[in-house]
Structure 1
Amino acid sequence: MALLEIRDVVKQFGDFTAVNHVSLSVEAGEFFTLLGPSGCGKTTLLRMLAGFEQPDSGEIILDGVNVAGVPPEKRPVHTVFQNYALFPHMTVAQNIAFPLKMANVPSEELKQRVAEVLEDVQLTPFAQRFPHEMSGGQRQRVAIARALVNRPRLLLLDEPLSALDAKLREEMQIELINLQKEVGITFVYVTHDQGEALALSHRIAVMNKGQVAQLDVPEVIYSHPKSRFVADFIGQCNLLDGTIVAIGHDRMQVEIAGVGIAETLLLPDVEVGQKGTLTLRPEKIKLAASLPLDVADEVHFKGKVHDCLYLGDVTIYVIELENGVLVETMLPNSAPGRAKFFDDNDLVELAWRYDAGHFILS
């Protein structure tokens, strides 16, 4: 049985339904992420797991017990908030010890458990410092240590890295992965950052308008989105509307509006005439001044550079095809001494394998 089961949970605020019949499960030891835009219901769902909000209907089963209605302090759950919520007048060790004092843990056991968790988060040398004497990343680790010291079955993290700068955020992502492996506690993590979710998670629940739009491992969500929303929300993606015009043994032909015929992988139980969207990631597309036309299993088009965006390690090129449709491609800036390969209005050719994209039925 899963450690956590959310069964048909609904939460409304007046006429607004924040969480709409959500069901999912989280396994013990899993790094599970709730991902979605602002207002999608992810934080409300997290607050219900913590006990700060109560569901209007449905069940929240933790370790086989329905905790809906159980107050936060009675749940084997701790929450790490975005602002860390540390006591500024207490040292690191005192902040971490605070939950144990509230639970009347004996002094010797308290000292031992604080020392253990300080070692887990690599903060032993900082035990006597105050929060204002530490960096944002260190304060974040203190907040996690305080949440871990009571040995919760479930650790909830509400966008804990959003206040950090980009470099520190990346460092903390690696630390969170390593920490979660070391302590073995189940993490439920809330974020609106797609890259963060893909990097950290064992599984991701993408939420939209109070519902789970897709739940799967990161690579499946990225490569095989189930809807236009998921495809568009997770990273950069070309969304090309089309109609199925022919069905073969392992692939089908799709007429892309304003572009032409493109082959793609065959979907089960489809018919000629069905409409949908071909989702195509920019990095899956070849781009060059000229490309061979006779490469097997490739779709080939001509166009010109409409715009480009230099990002350091890569450049995003927006290509205008002959019929005016815009397609984003991506090239690594790997050539020595060159910032980018093409300029605006350069004539180019692009191609992609038939299995590079994923067709979503309307």
Structure 2
Amino acid sequence: MALLEIRDVVKTFGDFTAVNHVSLAVEAGEFFTLLGPSGCGKTTLLRMLAGFEQPDSGEILLDGKNMAGVPPEKRPVHTVFQSYALFPHMTVAQNIAFPLKMAGVASAEIPKRVDEVLEDVRLQQFARRYPHELSGGQRQRVAIARALVNRPRLLLLDEPLSALDAKLREQMQIELINLQKEVGITFVYVTHDQGEALALSHRIAVMSQGQVEQLDAPETIYSYPKSRFVADFIGQCNLLDATITEVQPGRMKVEIEGVGTAEALPVAGAQVGGKGTLTLRPEKIKLGATLPQGNADEVHFKGRVHDCLYLGDVTIYIVELDNGTLVETMLPNSGSGKAKFFDDNDLVELAWRFDAGHFVLA
């Protein structure tokens, strides 16, 4: 049995449906992420897990027990908020000890429990400091330590890294992964940051308009999106409208609007005449002034460099095909010397394998 089960949960605010018949399960020890744009329902769902909101219908079960009517303080669940909500007049140790005092833990037991969790988050030397004396990353760890000290069955994290700068956020992502492995507590994490979700999660539920669009492992969501929304929302992706013209075992042919014929892996439900979108990641596309011909597994198109964006490790090239369609590709800047290989208006050739993209039916 899953640690957490959400069964057909609905939550409305007036005429607005924030969560629309959502069902999912989270396993014990899992790092599970709710991902989606602002207003998709992910934070409302998290607040229902915490007990701050009650569902209009459906069930939320933790360890098989229905949480209906159970107040937040009675649930084996703790929440880490974006603001951290640390008490400024208390030291790190006092902040962490506060939930234990509120729970009536014996005074003699509290220092031991605080020391244990300080070791978990590697903040033993900061026990006597106040929040204003800590960096953003250290305050983040104190907030997590305070949430962990009561040994909850479930830790909820509501965009806890969004206030940090990019470099510190990356460091904290690594720390969160390691911390979750060390303490073994189930994390349910809310974010709108696709890269963060891909880096941290065992599984991701991508949400849109109050519903789960896809629930899968990060690599599955990235490589095999189930909808045009998921393909567009997760990372960079070329979305090429196409019609199926032939279906054979192992591959099918599609006519990309205004571009030409390409091949793709067949998908369930594919039929001649079916419309959809060929989703193609930029890193799957070869780019060159000329490319070797004769590989039956590749499709080739000619174009002209429309624009480029140097990002340090890679350069993004926007290529305009003969019909005006823009295709995004990238080249790694791994070689020595010149990092930028093409300039605006350079004639180039694109190629990709038939199995590089993923076709999504309309």
TM-score range, shorter chain: over 0.9
Q: Could you list the per-position Cα deviations for residues 233-278 of structure 1 after superposition, in whole angstroms to 9, with x for gaps in the alignment?
A: 0000000000001112210000000110000001233211110000
User: 1:331 & 1:296 partners in 2: Cα distance?
Assistant: 23
TM-fit CA distance, 1:160: 0.2
Runs of 4+ in structure 1 displaced over 4 angstroms? none
Query: Secondary structure, in 3 states, of the residue corresponding to 2:69?
Result: coil
Counterpart amino acid of 2:246? Answer: A
Residue in structure 1 matched with residue 131 of structure 2 by the alignment: 131
**Alignment: residue pair count:** 362
User: 2:344 & 2:331 partners in 1: Cα distance?
Assistant: 15
Counterpart amino acid of 1:12? Answer: T
Counterpart amino acid of 2:349? Answer: E
Correspondences of 1:91-102 after superposition (within 5 Å): 91-102=91-102
Residue in structure 2 matched with residue 47 of structure 1 by the alignment: 47
Residue in structure 1 matched with residue 220 of structure 2 by the alignment: 220
With normalisation by structure 2, the TM-score equals: 0.99
Residue in structure 2 matched with residue 346 of structure 1 by the alignment: 346
Q: Could you list the per-position Cα deviations for residues 112-150 of structure 1 after superposition, in whole angstroms to 9, with x for gaps in the alignment?
A: 100000000000000000000000000000000000000
Correspondences of 1:184-199 after superposition (within 5 Å): 184-199=184-199
Residue in structure 2 matched with residue 284 of structure 1 by the alignment: 284
Q: Could you list the per-position Cα deviations for residues 18-40 of structure 1 after superposition, in whole angstroms to 9, with x for gaps in the alignment?
A: 00000000000000000000000
- What percentage of aligned pairs have identical amino acids? 83
Tell me whether 1:25 sits opposite 2:25 in the alignment: yes
Residue in structure 1 matched with residue 173 of structure 2 by the alignment: 173
User: 2:267 & 2:39 partners in 1: Cα distance?
Assistant: 33
Counterpart amino acid of 1:92? Answer: V
TM-fit CA distance, 1:356: 0.2
Residue in structure 2 matched with residue 164 of structure 1 by the alignment: 164
Residue in structure 2 matched with residue 361 of structure 1 by the alignment: 361
User: 2:273 & 2:134 partners in 1: Cα distance?
Assistant: 62
Q: Could you list the per-position Cα deviations for residues 35-76 of structure 1 after superposition, in whole angstroms to 9, with x for gaps in the alignment?
A: 000000000000000000000000000011000221000000
Query: Secondary structure, in 3 states, of the residue corresponding to 2:222?
Result: helix
TM-fit CA distance, 1:335: 2.0
User: 2:122 & 2:296 partners in 1: Cα distance?
Assistant: 53
Counterpart amino acid of 1:55? Answer: P
Tell me whether 1:89 sits opposite 2:89 in the alignment: yes
Residue in structure 1 matched with residue 247 of structure 2 by the alignment: 247
User: 1:271 & 1:199 partners in 2: Cα distance?
Assistant: 36
Counterpart amino acid of 1:195? Answer: G
Tell me whether 1:10 sits opposite 2:10 in the alignment: yes
Counterpart amino acid of 1:238? Answer: N
RMSD: 0.6
* 99-108 vs 179-188, greater mean Cα deviation: 99-108
Gaps spanning 5+ residues in structure 1: where? none
